[in-house]
Amino acid sequence: MKLVKMGIGLLLAFTGFSAIQAQTADEIVAKYIDALGGKDKLQQVKTVYMESTSQVMGNEGPSTINVINGVGYKLVSEMNGQTVIMVITDKGGWQVNPYAGATTPTALPDEIFKQGRGKLDAFGPLYNYVAKGNKIELQGKDGNAYKLKVTSSDSVEFNILIDATTYYMTKVSTTTSFMGQSIELTSTYSNFKKTDMGIVFPYSVEISYGGQFSITSTVNKVEFNKKIDPSIFDMPKS
């Protein structure tokens, strides 16, 4: 009888632990949303426009990002007289990347499109994650950060670190294809500031391409709800 009671106790303890883990993941996401400014503020954002200065391998150039939530994302970056463009919409994507031999608009491979579809939401895969069909697992802590594993509705996996003090998202990593190789793409966020709208935004981003090289961007300007013409996302006809 004593063994039976112990077995029941262990089973209840394990069940309770699983529930706590699931609840804790939701609590972390809720605190992350609050840290950004709260759900009410985030729901008011329909578009985001950013101007940045990017640095890579000693070179520097300007870049802009236009986002209409759920509709389109467009990055235009200039470096050494070359212009790189990446566009993702709710239906597909295209790019111009002379560094990869794509000097004219070229459709994005399906794998790259799926990995980039999250860019259609300026606040990332944790915001409204249930409605997006994303799944979240808490995988313990890494130093002073919570480790979350996010699996998108497209079965793309992201590993996210949330600072346990500020609840800001400090790092996102995923496996992607680059120049025919599988690499870990890691984005590290810092220099968080509150914008005029009361929403906190990272003004510094470093993107590491499998440790081969990295791009550092400093945000100079952020505008919410600026009017953006959806036609900028259309792929030019040859």
What is the 8-class DSSP label of residue 167? -
Is residue 92 assigned to a domain?
Answer: yes
Within a domain: residue 95? yes
AA letter at 217: S
Neighbour count for residue 103 (Cβ, 10 Å): 11
Backbone phi and psi for residue 36, each to the nearest 5 degrees, phi listed first: -70, -25
Tell me, yes or no, whether 238 lies in a domain: no
Which residues are registered as beta bridge partners of 53?
Answer: 62, 218
Q: Is residue 65 scored above 90 in pLDDT?
A: yes
Which residue range(s) make up the domain with 197? 2-233
Mean pLDDT of 3-30: 55
pLDDT digits (tens, 9 = 90+) for 94-116: 999 887 777 899 998 888 888 88
What is the structure's pLDDT at 116? 86
The pLDDT of residue 177 is 67
The residue that leads in pLDDT, 18 or 192, is: 192
Query: Where residue 30 sits, what CATH number does that domain have?
Result: 2.50.20.10
- Can you give the pTM of this predicted structure? 0.83
Whether 42 is in a domain gets the answer yes
Give the number of other CB atoms < 10 A from CB of residue 8. Answer: 10
Q: Is residue 117 over pLDDT 60?
A: yes
Answer whether residue 116 is part of any domain.
Answer: yes
Number of domains observed in the structure of the chain: 1
